[in-house]
Structure 1
């Protein structure tokens, strides 16, 4: 997964540098206390001002605040010795840590310190996954996890999962992504098959609903036509797009990630500091296609990724 560079460009970068120049006149411990109330990105920006500010910005006081409260239990999985809290932070931001007996992967968003997770296929409820005729559990070299779920042949497709709000960062807009790829570069039954995706709080009537596809609409045939296994006919790109829109508005399409896997956005949610999003609450998500009865096969599912929304993405707060 691509992650933003710490200290990258942002609209407040220049003002941060100007303010940091004035910090140089303060005692080092006072400088640390000022930077303590900023962000990891800001701490890296001001560190370039002078040696005094850099020493304050790199202090354990500053970077321990950016680390999650349970960081000690997370870094123990690394079996590494860290010379500073900043080095520990960067370790959790640069590489994910396997937790929960290898069923989840955890890391920090580099610029903000927000918590990110991937729930492995082993940590999800996949209908029929205990039957080798329908699903097969395999190991693949480019997966974070020991096993992935490979779809052999089903007509009832349903994947569900949950995560506790207490594991996530407060005051954060999150997006939920299904991470998958074709098995052997091929798949069957997904070309014209919109699937219903839902994301929401367990026990609340606020779940967002949308339709997604696991095969992109933009077909690669020069003629603009492709043979679909679902309809057993040749269809044009325009006809296919029209049929997908008929299920109810725009249909979310997958994108190829930097690690070679594909992802499709299932929905989003907001964790606030009161009301929905309390530590005892849970977020539930699902993707399913159970109505058409078409057979589907040859997809590999690594898991579901939950990460903070990027700047510029649509932000909707749930209250």
Structure 2
């Protein structure tokens, strides 16, 4: 006697359960899941999911800026997340900015030029400070003339996302006329401040000599070049120092414009 096989479909998971599961994934996974079905689309847009993707201290970060948290209350948690991805929050009286990485939700910071230690940066003979409409900061630094180039920035790892590999990038451009950067590389290094030695690389800043692997153009017209990377384990590793210098060939240099140094999660492509 032939036996008939019977199959029963598992019951559909409640939307709240789906949302809770998605909250343990990533912003990218949640957006992809929204394509599965209307139920998944609704779950993937819920505040339960996007609250988990926001940093635990995001309210404190916003409160230290000129923004009012109440002005963002009308946004869903998903809309707030992407607002923080695309609209830098300016901190430290205009010298530091905070954003989120839209793929992972990890914290990104840019040390503005005023947050950096630039040798002779406050001497009118060598550098000038000016505003640029394409910059997120009220001031950037433009090099008038130096032979000794030395730019350094520091950040406390406790402000960054934990268990994350970060890369540091110099964000810069050139004035209409520049000199001293053709065929003249600079030294870059990223390391924990208390670390002995550290890996030093030599890179070109002049776009005529830099490779695509080293530098790229940003959407707002600035360029960026990778200075190095580090792994932030628990956030209590200390202070990370990012350095750029050229002090050996005594070539006169001018025309370099510095917006800042950005630290953001490294993407595994």
Q: Could you tell me which residue of structure 1 aligns to residue 162 of structure 2?
A: 170
Residue in structure 1 matching 2:183, options 171, 192, 196: 192
Aligned residue number for residue 67 of structure 1: 54
Q: Distance in 1 between matches of 2:99 and 2:248?
A: 37
Aligned residues: 256
Shift of 1:98: 0.9
Greater share of strand residues, 1 or 2? 2
**TM-score (structure 2 length as normaliser):** 0.88
CA shift, 1:90, in A, is 1.2
Q: What is the alpha-carbon root mean square deviation over aligned residues?
A: 2.3
Post-superposition shift, 1:254?
Answer: 3.6
Could you list the runs of 5+ residues in structure 1 that have no partner in the other structure? 1-21, 220-249, 313-319
Cα distance between partner residues in 2 of 1:281 and 1:24 = 50
Query: Of 239, 242, 246, which aligns to 1:285?
Result: 242
Aligned-residue offset at 1:215:
0.9
The 5 A counterparts of 1:1-319 are 25-76=12-63, 77=67, 79-183=71-175, 185-205=176-196, 207-218=198-209, 253-273=214-234, 278-279=235-236, 281-312=238-269
In structure 2, the CA distance between the partners of 1:136 and 1:218, relative to structure 1 (3 Å rule), is: closer
| Runs (5+) with no aligned partner, structure 2 | 1-8
Distance 2:124 2:55 in 1: 40
Change (3 A) 1:176 1:24: farther
Normalising to structure 1: TM-score of the pair?
A: 0.75
C-alpha distance in 1 between matches for 2:40 and 2:11: 6
1:135-160 C-alpha deviation (Å, 9 max, x unpaired) = 11111111110000110011111000
For residues 289-308 of structure 1, give each alpha carbon's deviation from its aligned partner in whole angstroms, at most 9, with x where no partner exists. 11221111111111111111
Distance 1:156 1:218, change over 3 A: closer
